Structure 1
Amino acid sequence: MFKNKVCIVTGAAQGIGKAVVERFANQGATAVYALDMNQHALAIAFPPSEVIKTVTINICDRVTIQALIEEIKAVHGRVDVLVNNAGITRDALIDKMTEQDWDMVIDVNLKGVFNLTQAVAPLMMENNSGSIVTMSSVVGTDGNIGQTNYAATKGGVIAMTKSWAKEFARKGAQVRANCVAPGFVETPMTADLPEKVLAMMKDKTPLGRMGTTDDIANGVEFLASDKSSFITGQVLKIDGGLVL
């Protein structure tokens, strides 16, 4: 499905990002650039490979990002898929949320997505082809107590994605932008939660379980592939019916 394609995935060292990288590689991609800040985690996640290229990078560093894209362009001449997956949480009620917690989440979850997309989109436009999939959340569509900063970023990437879908297609380019909005998912971020909290999450979900990283990777795979070639500017909720 991804034969001859060059893909970039951020937040790639664990959880959803790792599952997406493995999916693209297994589906025949020419190269999958796995980006993450954690060099040690990347090394553990991915053994040396001709297909999976691990890159330790801070997505808030615009200069380094631009240099990486220029390098990929020099080697491959194209980027076919960008998955903006990297994200963090710094939860607190509004009266206890610090400016530092606000700024950090905004920088990584919102500006980081902007940085990667701004660097990659011109190359996709030049090649008249590409798919950008950005990880949002049901928190971005419906909000959540104690997550003002996170909700703002996840709602913001939806708004940016809809804007990009219109902008990229303005002159007929076949460059698409979509979002995936997961619900409660089993990842390293949720693994340490108390059992009663996990049980509550499952009880709130009509399908009675938490999602898996493969559940989310399925949606990303679809939106990144040519099977969704007539889909752009959309938000795909993968939440087991949590938000209806």
Structure 2
Amino acid sequence: MKIPYKSVIVCSIILGILISLQLKTIKLENEGTTTSKRGEQLLLQLKSLKKESDSLEEEINTIKSNIEKYKDDEGEEVLKSEINKYEKLAGYTDVTGSGIIIKLINNNSDNSIIYNYDLILSMINKLNTAQASAISINDERIVFDTYLDLREDSLYVNNTKIEEPIVIKAIGNKETLESALKIKYGIVWEIEKYYNYKVDIVSNDNIDISGYDKKINNIDVGKLNE
């Protein structure tokens, strides 16, 4: 594990400082017998150094305790859990959980929503604001640098062509996610009223969203979360 080794290095540095302070204290004590005034000055310095020494000893004990924690199995599991959590948030690992599935159903084949993909961007941003932990569009994972690009009458997400019907999955609190989309005069209302689409939202306790596994090449695109 890397973290214990870093802790050992920090601990060694602090021990070195402490030893240096102890040597300085000895030197001050030896020189403090010349005059009364000089002795008072040295005494003040000694008190200050003693205070710093106590503080450093406390830090050393804390670091030693952390090292022991990371050495045992429990500490390792804690670290693994933290790493896994942040990998999920970054979008690079598979996620399973409860949430909602949104299906955009075209009621008029002559009016595709892909030409107004800003509506999809808006929907994704609403889900992000509602604390969705993972989102996908037609199984393409949405990550920090995800982009939507319209070219040759086709919509691409992360350089993958998206066909209709468009299905958006979001993992998080089901009620919160759905409320964020179905708020009065919100994004669902706008899509259904002005674009002749049916927005079907279904709650699900077992949604699977795959991790992102591609390299993104930035081009002239519409980015999320700007």
TM over 0.5: no
Tell me which protein shows more helix as a share of its residues: 2
Higher RCO (Cα < 8 Å, 6 or more apart): 2
Q: TM-score, normalised by structure 1?
A: 0.20
Tell me which protein shows more strand as a share of its residues: 2
Larger Rg: 2
